[in-house]
Amino acid sequence: MDEWKLFSTPAPLINMAARAIARLGERRVKAFGFNIAQMPVLYLLRDGAAMSQKELAHFARIEQPSMTQMLARMERDGLIHRTPDPKDGRSSLVSLTEAAKAKLPAAREALHANSTRVLAGFSQDDVATLVSLLQRLNENLDREVAEDPAP
């Protein structure tokens, strides 16, 4: 019988690293009034873009109910505002407030510094290889999720 070596396979190691990176990232962005889960939305809207909730959920890979809750909190905290969508009267467009845009560069810098520390000892080639491997992994996962029938 094969011994189960949990930490000698990629999935648990990736999961453990992702959780630790999220915890550290949370500490870094909290000072700016953000949380780490909001970063994909902040990134997507950073240049003054306005997007629908559906578009944000799709690009951020977040389920609609979770996106609804997140946007409600972000609106409550003064990070986003909604305007009616001129193309769809039932929908609204989400954009960042000026206050959120003003804090975003400092939060980004804090995350960048965090990334630099986390990747200490990695060469530029190591980082490029890691990014390439993770991109391929995520492409495979996206394909698998799309092809996997719902229970």
Rg (CA), the chain: 18
In 64-101, which positions are buried (b, 16+ CB within 10 angstroms) versus exposed (e)?
Answer: eeebeebbeebeeeebbbeeebeeeeeebbbbbbeebb
Give the pLDDT of residue 151: 65
> What band does 146 get if pLDDT is binned at 50, 70 and 90?
confident
List the domain boundaries for the chain. Answer: 6-120, 122-151
**Predicted confidence (pLDDT) per residue in 85-103, tens digit:** 888 888 899 999 999 999 9
Q: Is the pLDDT of residue 137 over 80?
A: yes
Fold of the 6-120 domain: Arc Repressor Mutant, subunit A (1.10.10)
